[in-house]
Structure 1
Amino acid sequence: MPDHKDLPLTGPEVGSLWMTYQKMTMLLQMMKHFAQTSETPGYHQFLAGQVGEIQSFAEEIRNIFTGDGIIIPVGFTDQDVDLDAPALYNDVFGVSWFRIMTKVMMGMSVLHLGEATRDDVISYYERNLTYAKKMYIASTKLLMENSAFAPGPVVTPPQEVEFVQSKSYMSGTSLFQKTRPINTVEVLYLHQGIEINQVGAELMTGFAQAAREPDVQQYFARGKNLAYSCIDTFAAILKESDIQPAMSPWGRTTRSTRAPFSDKLMMYCTNLLSGFSLGSNAIGTSFSMRTDLPMKMTLIAAQIYDFAKDGGKLMVKYKWMEEPFQAEDRAALLKT
């Protein structure tokens, strides 16, 4: 393979690095606040330790772009965080939120690694993926050690292998036949939906409490209600099969109304998690073998999509949405 200095970045590589830069700079500013305001020794050490790591990932993208003569995106800067603001969330929530973000990082790193061809970009996403996996394990362990995390619901251990004998296995809610209990694959994605939306609901609570613009504040309140609706739907399906949903003490929003983050940053974070929730929902739908579950999850996905779309409109209204780098407009160049 030729040395990367002899190869230009491809369009997919530029796009993936641009997306990663937005995410990493947002993550950096939020982690600065969590580290600044954390008081519990174990949590503080963990949160503060991530700031330098995340900063180095953002800096590496800047170096790659500079080396290829590409302008540096704006992303999120020190102007998007108020380090003098009191804690908006407690320590448990800061670690819980970061744990969810490591899931986002793992998924995106695999996706971007699959499109990378230049050795420095491949190396970047390999390190990014390794870091995300390591921090997912570390954050999960930290929360469990402090009784701040509940693993997924437990089911009776299977004793034999079975094969589907009837088409009724794939039937959902019906007036004429009993619905089968959900299987463990379906439990997996329902539990993940509850987990994501628990963190999302608390995140939206704090964002709504601190947002500066009234319509943005209303948008976050709508997001909180949507997250609770998703939790109720997924939990009800589990309870129908006598499975008690695992609800973790994810941490709480404080009484502070002083925004530690800019409305722009909070809107981007919400948009990012909405996209992750849509992707998770789609995967869960594709692996479900009971016809009523995809229907319910599709209805939820439609609500999340509308929510994300309206968020995009708000970001455009306030000029907060940074454009990804564009391909050349050849028609306009010809006219010139």
Structure 2
Amino acid sequence: MEHTENIEPLDGLTATEVSNIWSSYLKNSMEQRFFEYFYNTTEDNEIKKVIKKMLLQSQKNLNELKDIFLNENLTIPLGFTDADLRAEADKVFSDTFILYFCFDFTLLSMSTYPIAFSDSSRKDVRYHLQENIEFTLNIQNELVDLMLSKGVYLKPPQIAIEKKIELADSIKYLNGFFGGSRPVNAPEIANLSRVIHRAQFSKMVFVTFNKLATTKDLKQYFSEGRDGIEKVLDSLQDVLEKENIPISSSGDYKIFDVGVSPFSDKLMLFFINTCLGIFCFSMISQAMTSSLRTDIILKFNKIADDMKMYYGQGILFAIKEKWFEEPPQAVDRKV
């Protein structure tokens, strides 16, 4: 008699797992379109090789997620299709700008996949998430090495560190006002530089998408985002300048004028709301919890409040244009 291996039946998906695979599908669907365009327009062969790996991974993820949706009799999200990309459109971004884009996608992955993994119990979902965490770690290492070799990696400031242990002896350690503030500590410098570098990238994305958007309303929305980022940069750079702490200048964000946008308005808005929105909230929250000086905390609080207002408008914009896919929801048992 032929031996057959007993296959352990899978439990039904939890609400958290449904949310995780749904979000992962939309994320990979978005990324696939960007990677297709980047692969077609990148001239640097080293960058092109990394993009191909990221493109193949996003395609693999979509196939795996489709199988889970079908096996669970769940509706596959619409996501983003060929209609959202003109893959053969002219080159918009310099190769270095594309490199920064790819690195930014890995930052989003590292802020979402580990949390999703820790909230999942079903083996196939955990395996999918674990594979992506491992892939992201490896590809992020490749990207950092590549940026370093090309001299375009934006390093945080290097500072002289006190060699003796100091214990705070007064609540004044928290003070950031009225000229009585202490020097910024290493975690605060790390937070400030991280957010500043991200804001520099975000500003140029807003500038580019403003040029590419096809409607007046969306152009206005992206323009307001650029102005908001300018305020963030002015506010946070002021702290480091007063401390005489140098920070890397903005990266090589060169863009080219094109007649036709390679991206649909829907795709660009989703990137803004997801990559620049959701991930920025995570970054700002981390910065607030690990900063102690009151003036810095208040700056981050103000940035968070402004972001809530701005990205809330972005969600409303997507709903108005009928681009917003509702997340899976429970059956209404009140009817």
TM-score over 0.5 for the pair = yes
Residue aligning to 1:325? 328
| Candidates 287, 304, 311, aligned match of 2:307 | 304
Task: Return the alpha-carbon distance in structure 1 between the equivalents of residues 10 and 180 of structure 2.
Answer: 64
| Candidates 121, 124, 137, aligned match of 2:125 | 121
Residue aligning to 2:225? 223
Larger mean CA deviation between 44-53 and 281-290 belongs to 44-53
Task: Return the alpha-carbon distance in structure 2 between the equivalents of residues 276 and 154 of structure 1.
Answer: 25
Larger mean CA deviation between 141-150 and 321-330 belongs to 141-150
2:316 is the counterpart of 1:313: yes
CA contact (8 A) 1:198 1:250 kept: no
| Candidates 82, 103, 107, aligned match of 1:103 | 107
- 1:273-322 CA deviation, whole Å, 9 max, x = no partner? 21211121111111111111111111111111111011111101100101
Within 5 Å, give how 1:49-128 maps onto structure 2.
49-128=53-132
Within 5 Å, give how 1:236-275 maps onto structure 2.
236-272=238-274, 273-275=276-278
Amino acid in structure 1 at the alignment position of 2:234: D
2:204 is the counterpart of 1:205: no
Amino acid in structure 2 at the alignment position of 1:299: K
Task: Return the alpha-carbon distance in structure 2 between the equivalents of residues 49 and 124 of structure 1.
Answer: 17
Q: What SS class does the counterpart of residue 191 from structure 2 fall into?
A: helix
Compute the displacement of 1:248 (Å). 4.1
Amino acid in structure 2 at the alignment position of 1:220: F
Task: Return the alpha-carbon distance in structure 1 between the equivalents of residues 31 and 167 of structure 2.
Answer: 45
Q: What's the TM-score once normalised by structure 2's chain length?
A: 0.95
Task: Return the alpha-carbon distance in structure 2 between the equivalents of residues 4 and 292 of structure 1.
Answer: 56
Give the CA RMSD over aligned residues. Answer: 1.4
Compute the displacement of 1:76 (Å). 0.9
CA contact (8 A) 1:4 1:120 kept: no
Runs of 4+ aligned structure 1 residues displaced above 6 Å come to none
Amino acid in structure 2 at the alignment position of 1:294: I
In structure 2, relative to structure 1, the CA distance for the partners of 1:34 and 1:18 (3 Å cut) is same
Amino acid in structure 1 at the alignment position of 2:280: S
Within 5 Å, give how 1:14-25 maps onto structure 2.
14-25=18-29
Number of aligned positions between the proteins: 329
Q: What's the TM-score once normalised by structure 1's chain length?
A: 0.94
Task: Return the alpha-carbon distance in structure 1 between the equivalents of residues 290 and 164 of structure 2.
Answer: 22
Which runs of no fewer than 5 residues in structure 2 stay unpaired? 1-5
Compute the displacement of 1:169 (Å). 0.6
Residue aligning to 2:3? none
| Candidates 168, 172, 176, aligned match of 1:172 | 176
Task: Return the alpha-carbon distance in structure 1 between the equivalents of residues 50 and 253 of structure 2.
Answer: 16
| Candidates 191, 211, 217, aligned match of 1:189 | 191
Amino acid in structure 1 at the alignment position of 2:200: Q
Compute the displacement of 1:267 (Å). 0.5
- 1:192-214 CA deviation, whole Å, 9 max, x = no partner? 10111111111111111011111
Q: What SS class does the counterpart of residue 27 from structure 2 fall into?
A: helix
Task: Return the alpha-carbon distance in structure 2 between the equivalents of residues 283 and 150 of structure 1.
Answer: 20
- 1:109-165 CA deviation, whole Å, 9 max, x = no partner? 111001100001111111111111112111111111101122111101331221111
2:50 is the counterpart of 1:46: yes
Compute the displacement of 1:168 (Å). 0.6
Q: What SS class does the counterpart of residue 5 from structure 1 fall into?
A: coil
CA contact (8 A) 1:205 1:253 kept: no
